[in-house]
Structure 1
Amino acid sequence: MARAASGGGDPARTLALLWDLDPPSPRGPRQRLRPAQVGDAAVALADAQGLDAVTVRAVAAQLGVAPMTLYTYVPGRDELLDLMVDLVHREELPALRGGWRERAEQVARERLDRARRHPWLLEVATRRRPPLGPGTIGTYERELVALDGAGLSDVERDLVVVLLGDVADGAARGGTAAGAQDADWWAASGPLLERVLDPARYPRAVRVGAAAGAEQGAAYDPGRALAFALDRVLDGVAALVAGRPPA
């Protein structure tokens, strides 16, 4: 599948697909799959091989049907992408715990974990025209619930949810960029970097980079980056609502 943004399909067909509103007619040809099964197969392919591996032919092969048959279940590639995004947001999550700040941290970490399980999500831009299926709506509701009692207005609550998502996505992108070969890269590059990085010329870069790497055990730790950013963001939210009654 070529790189694409979510929300590119026909809105009516997409919503009918996501909410499974058009069950097969009993008088038509008998269908043995549901849209979610098609989407699950596509998600499994994307998780294992990346988004570009998700083609009609590959998904059909996973399901044991002819490629053209797949269009009986999913109208097109854009709608399939929306379905994939929505399905990964339907995964079961533990109950929210603690006060609003702890709950906000929980949903941000859930977003980071989701991106780690499904790295292709970071390639899909969904904010302008999100899928609006039961998964994405349910996730949005959960994130809003997490901020109950914080004293935020409805508009502020939405903005904080967006901010938490941006922070989590940024941490996830950094972790994806580091990759599984990060340690091997540093081991191979370290001797050369020691030769070219002159502490007299780059005193702060050498000192701070060495301290951060020693503390984190790597050049970048997405979990640690998220924890630091969340503390700063939620301190700001707490200052914004200080003295307000709970909302």
Structure 2
Amino acid sequence: MAKERSSGAGDPARTLELLWRDAASAPAGRRGPRQGLTVDAVVEAAVALADEGGLDALSMRAVAQRLGVTPMTLYTYVPGKAELLDLMLDLVFLRMERAAFAPDEPWRERVRAVADGNRALYLRHPWLAELRVHRPPLGPGVMTKYEHELGAFEGLGLDDVAMDSALAHLLGFVQSAARAELDARAVDRESAMSDHEWWDAHAPLLARMFDEERFPLASRVGEAAAVAYQGMYSPEYAYGFGLARVLDGLAALIPPGAAGR
């Protein structure tokens, strides 16, 4: 179900209580064999499951089994999977590595650091690319991430709406690039063959079937790209090329006097 892969699909009030939880919000009258179980432990177990098998492997029952409790015990800590997904998202956002911005650091380097940090996060937690985040949970992780990443655009002469839009544009590119890279990794894994190996295996047949006179541009450009990529596709090349174009586009928004900061 789409709902089970979307953020913000649970009870908003209960989700916010859990996101900003403290000792006073801990559930009373805990049941089950694990009296020491906490919301934190539940979220940690859920993240580990998703890291190992993706969102398809994540269910309240699977989390309960991992923790050695019954599903009913788990529901005394987290109302359901929708709220759990929000807690998982906020946790990995809170813990992600963040590059410190030096006062005199060029803006392109700051923005590139934001992009690289988010790419690394997707590759560390591939299930994030499967999650629809239209309404992000406004927890400490989401807010810390947003505050930090806006700092890459601070002082560049952009108004507040432009800063928010620039960040959203950057993160949208990173998510798209990460999805493509994760898809490529999945194809390699499922076929037990890398792009380079696939190309070597099929090159003789393609050479016999492919008409270079009929497709002169495709032949020339395709061959050049295959050599550059060392295969049919290079996630690193695509990411680097795309990020450079995003930075070039953002540069058009920045007043000349602020661009050197």
The verdict on a shared fold, with TM-score over 0.5 as the criterion, is yes
Name the structure 2 match of 1:200: 213
Distance in 2 between the 1:131 and 1:81 partners?
9
Are 1:171 and 2:171 an aligned pair? no
Name the structure 2 match of 1:150: 156
Name the structure 2 match of 1:113: 120
- Partner-residue secondary structure (3-state), 2:222: helix
Are 1:90 and 2:103 an aligned pair? no
Deviation of 1:187 after TM superposition, in Å, equals 4.0
Contact 2:96 2:121 in 1 (8 A): no
Contact 1:101 1:147 in 2 (8 A): no
Name the structure 2 match of 1:160: 166
Letter in 2 for 1:90: L
Say which of 55, 68, 71 aligns to 2:72: 68
How has the CA–CA distance of structure 1 residues 36 and 99 changed in structure 2, closer, same or farther, with 3 Å as cutoff? farther
Moved more, 191-200 or 145-154: 191-200
How has the CA–CA distance of structure 1 residues 203 and 164 changed in structure 2, closer, same or farther, with 3 Å as cutoff? same
Distance in 1 between the 2:40 and 2:130 partners?
21
Contact 1:36 1:87 in 2 (8 A): no
Distance in 2 between the 1:35 and 1:189 partners?
52
- Between Structure 1 and Structure 2, how many residues are aligned? 245
Distance in 2 between the 1:166 and 1:145 partners?
18
Aligned ranges 1:217-228 → 2 under 5 Å: 217-228=230-241
Are 1:213 and 2:221 an aligned pair? no
Instruction: Find runs of 4+ consecutive structure 1 residues off by over 4 angstroms.
Output: 244-247
Deviation of 1:92 after TM superposition, in Å, equals 4.1
Distance in 1 between the 2:231 and 2:141 partners?
34
Q: TM-score w.r.t. structure 2 length?
A: 0.85
Q: Report Cα offsets for 1:22-41 as digits up to 9, x if no partner.
A: 5325x633742222221111
How has the CA–CA distance of structure 1 residues 109 and 38 changed in structure 2, closer, same or farther, with 3 Å as cutoff? same
Say which of 123, 128, 133 aligns to 1:126: 133
- Partner-residue secondary structure (3-state), 2:256: coil
Q: TM-score w.r.t. structure 1 length?
A: 0.89
Distance in 1 between the 2:57 and 2:38 partners?
21
Structure 1 gap ranges (5+): none
Deviation of 1:199 after TM superposition, in Å, equals 1.7
Letter in 2 for 1:136: V
Letter in 2 for 1:202: F
Distance in 2 between the 1:101 and 1:205 partners?
34
How has the CA–CA distance of structure 1 residues 88 and 195 changed in structure 2, closer, same or farther, with 3 Å as cutoff? farther
Deviation of 1:112 after TM superposition, in Å, equals 1.1
Structural RMSD (CA): 2.2
Letter in 2 for 1:233: V
How has the CA–CA distance of structure 1 residues 36 and 222 changed in structure 2, closer, same or farther, with 3 Å as cutoff? farther
Contact 1:100 1:149 in 2 (8 A): no
How much identity, in percent, do the aligned residues show? 50
Structure 2 gap ranges (5+): 189-193
Q: Report Cα offsets for 1:46-101 as digits up to 9, x if no partner.
A: 11111111111111111111121110111111001111111111224143243221
Name the structure 2 match of 1:23: 25
Deviation of 1:111 after TM superposition, in Å, equals 1.1
Contact 1:144 1:161 in 2 (8 A): yes
Name the structure 1 match of 2:11: 10
